[in-house]
Structure 1
């Protein structure tokens, strides 16, 4: 992967594949650019696909102190490297970050968002002390427990599902990137759809959810699409918090090239 330099001097690892209009893919919590390994080949015949490791993950650098503004600058650096403007696709907490970047004036031509992380009524928010709990677990280097806590309190996964996750190959990545859960939690703010702020955003935005996702994720996607003046929602085949890759690829390719 090549490196671009963000405004604060942090190096951000990125890679480009394909030919055509640029689209930047941005991951959510826990993950790095490899989460898009199956999606990139679906897009590359139609678009120039740019993937990158968000700061603190994979081959990217980090800084001693975190701020959402620094991650916005990271995305701006990747887009500048991609030619100065691009479509952005982001999922989960990455979708929240993409919205913040668009609101900050990063040159995003179109947004495609997969199930942004918001909690709408009647779905409960994470505990009020969730950030303090995460900080305490990570200060004790209890990375696995921090990951479990986030999956339970933020995603609402059952103990049985979390136990299955622990047996999967990706669990090592979850633990390696557990410190970045503080970053994603900072991005989420009060967990509510920022309706008034989104009402000022004129960037065309496609908000996606899968037909088998959780109720709170579906409701968050619909509320986000409604809040955006140039937003519209679309439900696609998939599973919990995941859209079938071949279908997602076709939709994003069409969204980027038309």
Structure 2
């Protein structure tokens, strides 16, 4: 992987592929750049993709004290490597991060968001002490419990669904990146759609959710799009928190190049 140095000196690892206008892919909770392994080939005939490991994950470095502003600077460093401006696609808590980066003036030419982690009225918010609980579990190196707690308390998954995750192929990655879950909780803040701040953001934006996702994620996507003055909302075929990859690929390629 290639490397850039973020403003605070942290090394951020990224991979570049394809040809065309640059698009930076920003992952959400647990994951590193490999979450986009199936999406990149769908985009590279049309775009130059930049996928990177967020700080604390994969081949990227980290810092002793976390701040959301540092993650915004990481994205800015990758965009600088991409030529100084880029389309950004981000999902899950990564979508919340991309929104904060956009509102901070990051040079994003177009913004695509997949199911940001907001809670609109009518859907319960996570417990107020999620971040503190995660920090305590990590101080005790209880990684599995931290992952299970995040999935249950923050995402609202049932114990049976969490058990299915635990037996799945990416559980090892979940545990390896468990220390970054508190980062994502910080990014999400109070989980309220920042409608007042979004009202002033006029960059062209696409907000997506899958047809098989949770009601709270669908409602969050719709509310985010409604708050943005230059946004379009689309529901695409898929399962829980996942869009069918071929559909996502051509949708993003069209959005980035049209």
Tell me, in whole angstroms, the C-alpha distance in 1 between the residues paired with 2:8 and 2:204.
29
* Deviation (angstroms), 1:7: 0.4
1:174-217 C-alpha deviation (Å, 9 max, x unpaired): 00100000100000011100110111111111000011110000
Counterpart check, 1:121 vs 2:121: yes
Instruction: Deviation per CA, 1:56-112: give whole Å up to 9, x if none.
Output: 000000000000000000000000000110000000100000000000011000000
After superposition, residues 27-106 of structure 1 pair within 5 angstroms as: 27-106=27-106
Per the alignment, in what secondary structure is the counterpart of residue 99 of structure 1? Answer: helix
- TM-score normalised to the size of structure 2? 0.99
Question: How much has 1:247 moved relative to structure 2?
Answer: 0.2
**1:131 CA drift (Å):** 1.6
Structure-2 residue corresponding to 1:150: 150
Deviates more, 1:51-60 or 1:152-161: 152-161
Q: Which runs of 5+ in 1 are unaligned?
A: none
Give runs of ≥4 in structure 1 deviating > 4 Å. none
Tell me how large the CA RMSD over aligned residues is: 0.6
Partner residue, 2:252: 252
CA distance in 1, matches of 2:155, 2:127: 12
Secondary structure of the residue aligned to 2:111 is strand
What is the DSSP-based 3-state SS (H/G/I as helix, E as strand, rest coil) of the residue aligned with 1:247? Answer: helix
State how many pairs are aligned: 258
1:232 to partner: Cα distance: 1.4
Q: State the Cα distance separating 1:134 from its structure 2 match.
A: 1.0
Q: 1:193 maps to which residue?
A: 193
- Superposed displacement of residue 128, structure 1: 1.5
Q: 1:182 and 1:115 mapped to 2: Cα distance?
A: 19
Shift in Å at residue 135 of structure 1?
1.3
| Residue 184 (structure 1) aligns with | 184
- TM score, norm. by length of structure 1: 0.99
Partner of 1:234: 234
1:128 and 1:109 map into 2 onto residues whose CA distance is 35
Q: How does 1:208-227 map to 2 (within 5 A)?
A: 208-227=208-227
Cα distance between partner residues in 1 of 2:195 and 2:161: 33
2:59 and 2:183 map into 1 onto residues whose CA distance is 17
* Structure 2: runs of 5 or more not aligned: none
Q: Please give the alpha-carbon distance, in whole angstroms, between the structure 1 residues aligned to 2:209 and 2:77.
A: 28
Displacement after TM superposition at 1:222 (Å) = 0.1
